[in-house]
Amino acid sequence: MEQVFRMSEITLNVKGMKCGGCAKRVEDALKGLPGVTSAKVDLKKGEVQVAYDSASTTPEQMKKKVTEAGYKVE
């Protein structure tokens, strides 16, 4: 069976991440979404870079997930 992937990348600005624990929480939350293949936080910049399959998830779902984890996406 053939599967179609549409890999995309997005950088989200996340407010409120202060330490490695915050970074891990945000990364884990995003990786819990179907279709997210990697999530990498840059604490200095307050950003998280996400690689995902746009057929499986959307930036809106990512924002919701990060917000549920207790952080704010701009």
- With respect to Cu ion, which residue has the nearer C-beta, 41 or 62? 41
- With respect to Cu ion, which residue has the nearer C-beta, 15 or 18? 18
Give the DSSP H or E segment for 16.
none
Shortest reach from residue 27's CB to Cu ion, in Å: 12
- With respect to Cu ion, which residue has the nearer C-beta, 37 or 67? 67
| Binding region for Cu ion (CB under 5 A) | 18-19, 21-22
Angle in degrees, CA 29, 33, 34, rounded to 5:
160
Number of H helices, E strands in the chain: 2, 4
